[in-house]
Structure 1
């Protein structure tokens, strides 16, 4: 039986990662039922092959993954086998939507608000269309080349405008200066000395434990602070190739 199912992985960091350490860590961390083969094909880029498709799907379904606080991007191997040029610019995150009134905490509202951030893959609801709790939790697919969104205005039915905050679970290496993943604030400030640091630790969501243990925990988590630090709030958010206004009308 050969390795017929594949993924391409990329560690999102400007620093060169230790190839052998990455291969050893993820060969065991992914807990595949069958054998897995990981080979470096370029700096910080790896070709991951699986014997069975179930293991490959499990790795994708339990994203995000991180290596030493750097986000690991994954993409399926193209049919033509061109693994060296596979574009790797989209990642998956668990995002908490804070500030939505209780009677508006539905799957439809979660999908509409989450679309500002990226493509909503799943809404964590346990009672039909209702999302019960202090916040709505979504799993979303987004463009890592764009700044993370901290907050935005939405127009809710029978309420009007509400300020919604996005908090990210297990936030990896993140720049507080430009709002992007993949490099530290210190590196960004050295390169662009006039950039004002305006994002803060409040973008990190608190640790969340689902009712059933189905997702692999990874990395470290810094709990949110009590103070409030403003962040970038552009008039337009560029999400998945489409321009979306920061004030979004949500239908009931």
Structure 2
């Protein structure tokens, strides 16, 4: 027994720190070559409230109607991994935003190869905006790029919005940082010294704060508002920042606002061909992108693929795969 005790003492005295710190290199190519997240999106909702995950999955399944199915998994509190089974379904969701649930905006990003999902920053949102009060001669794409980089980061110019003689506004897609307040207007100076001011209206905008202009919360959770409770708080942002609803090209639907705002809330209704039969469908979400937003998808093909079940059909998106 003494012999074994002596051996234990000798082993305890051994220093393996040098071995542990020695560089170790794998033989051959052992790194994964395939991006396992190639058909995945990572996302989170901009809300201070808890998301009803089950209701959210059902609602987004009814809106997106992925042709080949998808899976939504909460991998961290408030962080969702969206796995698709066809690239076209993933791109349709990614390019068709912004999406919202219960008026909370959804931020979505692709996952770069080799990156862990939880390390992908979720601070940016792509959104279509309308630039109003532009004089004649200022509706060009060159002007749109410069204004887009002021209000956010310019992504796309909607040339089809300028097909009529009377052009009420310019329409561009921008990428905004949700940590910064929504920009509202910009003063423009002409070469002759005169000036004018353009205003920016955001399409399909969900909750945002009327006090600080952030889309991450409403006044209910605004620090500036809470610090000045009891005093008069200036609200420099308002519902006038929201662009009027637009008709969805080729789908016969129009988003109609039917309610009043309460802490930033807007109730919307989706009017579809079923209205003819007397069924008015109520929803807090927009149905899909316009033709120019659909990343090249054919309108008729989208109509056929997205027709899906009736809106009153419950779909569980937790693990849906088309058989």
TM class by shorter chain equals: 0.7 to 0.9
1:192 has 2:230 as partner: no
Correspondence for 1:174 among 190, 200, 208: 208
Q: CA RMSD in A?
A: 2.9
- Could you tell me which residue of structure 2 aligns to residue 119 of structure 1? 153
Is contact 2:248-2:254 (8 Å) kept? Answer: no
Measured at CA, do residues 67 and 210 of structure 1 come closer, stay the same or move farther in structure 2, by a change above 3 Å? closer
Q: TM-score, normalised by structure 2?
A: 0.62
Q: Could you say what secondary structure the match of 1:114 adopts?
A: helix
Correspondence for 1:51 among 82, 85, 88: 85
CA distance in 2 between counterparts of 1:221 and 1:168 reads: 18
- Could you tell me which residue of structure 1 aligns to residue 241 of structure 2? 203
Higher fraction of helix: 2
User: How do 1:82-231 residues align onto structure 2 when only pairs under 5 Å count?
Assistant: 82-126=116-160, 133-157=167-191, 160-188=194-222, 190-193=225-228, 195-209=233-247, 211-213=249-251
Measured at CA, do residues 210 and 125 of structure 1 come closer, stay the same or move farther in structure 2, by a change above 3 Å? farther
Correspondence for 2:106 among 72, 82, 93: 72
- Flag the structure with larger Rg: 2
CA distance in 1 between counterparts of 2:135 and 2:185 reads: 15
Is contact 2:37-2:113 (8 Å) kept? Answer: no
Is contact 1:6-1:50 (8 Å) kept? Answer: yes
Measured at CA, do residues 68 and 32 of structure 1 come closer, stay the same or move farther in structure 2, by a change above 3 Å? same
Is contact 1:64-1:71 (8 Å) kept? Answer: yes
Q: For residue 54 of structure 1, report the CA deviation from its aligned partner.
A: 0.9
Q: For residue 20 of structure 1, report the CA deviation from its aligned partner.
A: 1.3
Q: For residue 162 of structure 1, report the CA deviation from its aligned partner.
A: 1.6
Q: For residue 141 of structure 1, report the CA deviation from its aligned partner.
A: 0.9
Q: For residue 80 of structure 1, report the CA deviation from its aligned partner.
A: 1.9
- Could you tell me which residue of structure 2 aligns to residue 20 of structure 1? 54
Q: For residue 187 of structure 1, report the CA deviation from its aligned partner.
A: 2.3
Q: For residue 222 of structure 1, report the CA deviation from its aligned partner.
A: 6.9
Q: Deviations over 1:190-231 (max 9, x none)?
A: 5331653222221111112255449x97795779xxxxxxxx
Is contact 1:4-1:52 (8 Å) kept? Answer: no
Q: For residue 129 of structure 1, report the CA deviation from its aligned partner.
A: 9.5
Q: For residue 156 of structure 1, report the CA deviation from its aligned partner.
A: 3.9
Q: Which runs of 5+ in 1 are unaligned?
A: 224-252
Is contact 1:171-1:221 (8 Å) kept? Answer: no
Q: Could you say what secondary structure the match of 2:66 adopts?
A: coil
Q: For residue 30 of structure 1, report the CA deviation from its aligned partner.
A: 1.1
- Could you tell me which residue of structure 1 aligns to residue 63 of structure 2? 29
Q: TM-score, normalised by structure 1?
A: 0.78
